[in-house]
Amino acid sequence: MKAAPSRPDLGGAPGDSPERRNLSPAALYEHAIRRDEAVIVSTGALTAETGKHTGRSPKDKFFVKEPTSRDAIWWHPGNQPISTSSFDRLLARMQEYSQANPVYTKDVFACADPRHRLRVRVISEFAWHSLFAHNLFIRPNADELRGFEPDFTVMALPSVKADPAQDGTHSETFILVHLGRRMVLIGGTEYAGEIKKSIFTALNYLLPAKGVFPMHCSANVDEDGGDEALFFGLSGTGKTTLSADPKRRLIGDDEHGWSDSGVFNFEGGCYAKTIRIHKESEPEIYAAVESFGTILENVVYDPRTRVPDYDSDEKTENTRAAYPVDLIPNAVLSGIGGHPRNVIFLSADAYGVLPPVARLDDDQIRFYFLSGYTAKVAGTERGVTEPEPIFSTCFAAPFLVLPPETYADMLIDRVNRHHAQVWMLNTGWVGGPYGVGKRMSIAHTRAIVSAVVEGRLREVPTHVDPIFGLHIPDRVPAVPAEVLDPRGSWADPEAYDRQALKLRKLFEENIHAIGKNAATAG
């Protein structure tokens, strides 16, 4: 009789071991299940809960104020300093924990372009966090893993918690970035997104010195290559959905660099929102979400059938799926493209006053890039009826390390050098604000995107919006003329004027605040 294979070490022995280093997805599944970290749902995906933190904790993120980086960091309220002694104390606590408990090591790359590649080591308490790193970063082959020495190390140990009184943090949760020692410490949170975003933060510091513009955007290219497009936008604006176009090839869905050679993906995977995802509207993403190896975060499922309920927001609106980019059938597996011909800023305007599409000049590129605008719908609390504006500088405020003008200058330089056109698209409301107007038709938005990336709007005449000064195309194929006229779509044009002037004032106040922060930080 053939002997049964011996089981791998599934935990219990102290510290790291070869049995928990660079495990395959199948092995990490087994570890996660046996350790009660996650469950398998009916689709074959692995689903985990992230506890009280169902998103990032920006108020718990700190930069170590140390000699090599302190003079370069933009010390605005979002980039909080912490002392080297606090970092050392928490690092010692993490090292003590990892020596006494099982931890997982995953060696990966960031940056698809080998000339700018960063070797990253992720040390995690959870097996599913190791699988997350496997899915989201670029996966080295066996030869590349031999003698792997990291350029940057991330330690993600949720069981290690800070003592605010002793450690100088705001809570027991902490994300500490030490740019001098090339380390990130993450404790007190099980939200895996902190792992990937910590490396994006590091790249926002490291790459500009190499002449590479780091971007929080998705990117795709036409089937023949040579017609790349970038999509900037905050959560809920359609960045992932619109870049996953079956007629084009996906370079990446979230983070990219723009070098002298072109654009390249920072990652090897996608981190897509799954709330209310449907096969009919997002077939490529839906198929990836329902695959073996994919990790679902905080997705509700039937406990008996294990069928996921993507419509449920019982645990959070921010339900997520992390999967390798090669699960998207038309992905560019090299993660590398040429110089973009079109750059698109996406805003879901709940005030209902921005045009569905506008062409931007240099001054407007700077203004709207620094603004990084979208708007949340009105809240459900009694008396809260107004949309809430969200401004995230350069569409990436939580991850910026250098002053924002540095990134704006890099964008405009590349746009001008490579003759790209920049557009702003409103994927939010038309005909009135949220509660009065209606959400922009996804069919019309897709038609606008197609016209932009295919170059069919480059020579179309434009007219100037009198309040925002935006250049609105006179016509877009397959989009009714009345859709392109935000003021005309309102039942009361004077109400539109009042709302538009209100939003313009909010933009101006935000730009003034950015300048004030820059002056204070400088």
Q: Can 237 be counted among the known catalytic residues?
A: no
Q: Token pair for residue 127?
A: 């097996």
CATH of 18-50+59-67+74-210, one of 3.30.110.30, 3.40.449.10, 3.20.20.140, 1.10.150.20: 3.40.449.10
Is residue 254 flagged as an active site residue? yes
User: What is the full per-residue pLDDT of the chain (522 aa) written as tens digits?
Assistant: 333 334 344 443 345 566 799 999 999 999 999 999 999 999 999 999 999 999 999 999 999 999 999 999 999 999 999 999 999 999 999 999 999 999 999 999 999 999 999 999 999 999 999 999 999 999 999 999 999 999 999 999 999 999 999 999 999 999 999 999 999 999 999 999 999 999 999 999 999 999 999 999 999 999 988 899 999 999 889 898 899 888 999 999 999 999 999 999 999 999 999 999 999 988 999 999 999 999 999 999 999 999 999 999 999 999 999 999 999 999 999 999 999 999 999 999 999 999 999 999 999 999 999 999 999 875 434 444 578 899 999 999 999 999 999 999 999 999 999 999 999 999 999 999 998 999 999 899 999 999 999 999 999 999 999 999 999 999 999 999 989 999 999 999 999 999 999 999 999 999 999 887 666 655
Is 56 among the catalytic positions?
A: yes
pLDDT of residue 521: 58
> Range(s) for CATH 3.40.449.10 in the chain?
18-50+59-67+74-210
CA distance 426 to 355: 6
pLDDT, residue 246, reads 86
Indicate the burial class of 436 (C-beta count within 10 angstroms; 0-12, 13-18, 19 or more). Answer: middle
Measured between alpha carbons, how far is 425 from 127 in angstroms, rounded to an integer?
40
To 10 degrees, what angle do helices 404-417 and 362-371 make?
A: 140
Catalytic residue among 31, 43, 50, 56: 56
Contacts within 8 Å (CB) and 24+ apart, 87-90 = 87/176, 87/178, 87/185, 89/166, 89/167, 90/160, 90/162, 90/167, 90/174, 90/176, 90/185, 90/187
5 half-sphere exposure, CB direction, 13 A CA radius: 3
Rounded Cα distance between 494 and 169, Å, is 49
In this structure, how many other beta carbons lie within 10 angstroms of the beta carbon of residue 495? 16
Helices (H), 181-253: 193-206, 239-243
Q: Which part of the chain has CATH 3.90.228.20?
A: 213-288+333-521
Look up tokens 């295919």; give the residue: 454
Q: How far is the C-alpha of 378 from the C-alpha of 386, rounded, in Å?
A: 5
Which helix (H) or strand (E) segment holds residue 414: the answer is helix 404-417
**Of these residues, 31, 197, 273, 414, which one is catalytic?**
197
Concerning whether 312 is annotated as a catalytic residue, the answer is no
What does the pLDDT read at residue 520?
62
What pLDDT, on the 0 to 100 scale, is given for residue 86? 98
**CA separation, residue 247 to residues 119, 221, 262 (Å):** 33, 9, 21
Residue 473: what are its φ and ψ, rounded to 5°?
-60, 140
Q: Which fold has domain 213-288+333-521?
A: Phosphoenolpyruvate Carboxykinase; domain 3 (3.90.228)
Q: What is the pLDDT of residue 88?
A: 98
Distance, CA of 404 to CA of 471 (rounded, Å): 25
> Which residue, among 343, 331, 510, has the nearest Cα to 419 in the 3D structure?
343
* Contact by Cβ (8 Å): 371, 408: no
Q: Which of 198, 240, 393, 450 is catalytic?
A: 240
Q: Which among 31, 106, 248, 320 is annotated as catalytic? A: 320
Question: Phi and psi at residue 377, in whole multiples of 5°?
Answer: -75, 165
**Tell me, what's the pLDDT at 522?**
53
Q: How far apart, in Å, are the Cα atoms of 295 and each of 45, 206, 298? A: 6, 29, 10
53 is catalytic: no
Q: Which helix (H) or strand (E) holds 364?
A: helix 362-371
Read off the tokens for 401.
Answer: 């390390």
Alpha carbon distance 295, 44 (integer Å):
10
User: What pLDDT is recorded for position 99?
Assistant: 94
Q: Which of 389, 354, 392 is nearest to 514 (CA)?
A: 392
516 is catalytic: no
Looking at 418-492, list the stretches that DSSP marks H as alpha helix, in order from N- to C-terminal side: 442-453
- Residue 141 to residue 133: CA distance in whole angstroms: 15
Whole-model pTM: value is 0.92
pLDDT digits (tens, 9 = 90+) for 298-352: 999 999 999 999 999 999 999 999 999 999 999 999 999 999 999 999 999 999 9
Distance CA 272, CA 281 (A): 14
Q: Which of 196, 216, 248, 366 is catalytic?
A: 216
Active-site entry in 139, 196, 239, 444 = 239
